[in-house]
């Protein structure tokens, strides 16, 4: 009977431990060489669509006479979570791992570097604004800036 209790305790502890662990996100900062740059852009675009839907749902629920506060809170939380996910991809993936500092002496490469940094910063700011409001102008600004960043990031100049 004692062995059964010990086994039961160990199994339950293992289940609780696994249930509390968060799954790993994207890539870590180990230089494994396996990168999904275009996938990260697609993920950001998906988060933007989710932000837009969340904003529209919040507006719709807020107009109702008998407000469903539970649903409002769920959509607000969802909106904020997806804005943070955009910020995480920009920061942890692109800024920390993919955009490398460039010697200012190499003017053309440095100009590309600065352009990419500016666009990533704009994405961060617009994601923050989307988190703070339900103003759909930030969705359009996010989309536009992500498109500009993708062009700046993936564009291959014939001299590269």
Q: What is the pLDDT of residue 24?
A: 45
Q: What is the pLDDT of residue 159?
A: 40
Torsion from C-alpha of 50, 22, 120, 151, nearest 10 degrees: -70
Contacts of 99 (CB under 8 A, 6+ apart): 113, 116, 117, 120
CA separation, residue 31 to residues 35, 37, 53, 54, 100 (Å): 9, 14, 36, 35, 13
The domain over range 28-154 is classified in CATH as 1.20.120.400: yes
**Nearest in space to 90 (alpha carbons), one of 126, 62, 114:** 126
Termini Cα distance of the chain: 71
Q: What is the pLDDT of residue 157?
A: 42
Q: What is the pLDDT of residue 152?
A: 96
**Nearest in space to 90 (alpha carbons), one of 114, 49, 125:** 125
Q: What is the mean pLDDT for each group of 10 consecutive residues in the chain (160 residues)?
A: 61 56 52 79 98 97 92 96 97 92 95 97 98 97 97 69
Q: What is the pLDDT of residue 6?
A: 62
Q: What is the pLDDT of residue 11?
A: 57
Residue with tokens 């490398």: 100
Domain layout of the chain by residue ranges: 28-154
């Amino acid at each position: 009977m004692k062995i059964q209790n010990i086994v039961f305790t160990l199994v339950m502890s293992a289940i609780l431990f696994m249930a509390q662990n968060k799954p790993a996100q994207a890539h870590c900062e180990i230089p494994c060489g396996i990168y999904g740059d275009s996938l990260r852009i697609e993920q950001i675009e998906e988060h933007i669509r989710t932000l837009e839907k969340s904003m529209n749902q919040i507006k719709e629920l807020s107009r109702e006479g008998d407000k469903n506060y539970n649903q409002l809170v769920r959509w607000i939380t969802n909106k904020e979570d997806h804005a943070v996910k955009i910020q995480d991809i920009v920061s942890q993936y692109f800024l920390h791992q993919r955009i490398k500092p460039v010697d200012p002496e190499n003017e053309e490469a440095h100009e590309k570097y600065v352009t990419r940094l500016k666009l990533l910063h704009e994405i961060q700011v617009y994601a923050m604004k989307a988190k703070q409001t339900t103003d759909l102008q930030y969705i359009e600004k996010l989309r536009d800036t992500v498109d500009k960043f993708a062009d700046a990031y993936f564009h291959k100049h014939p001299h590269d």
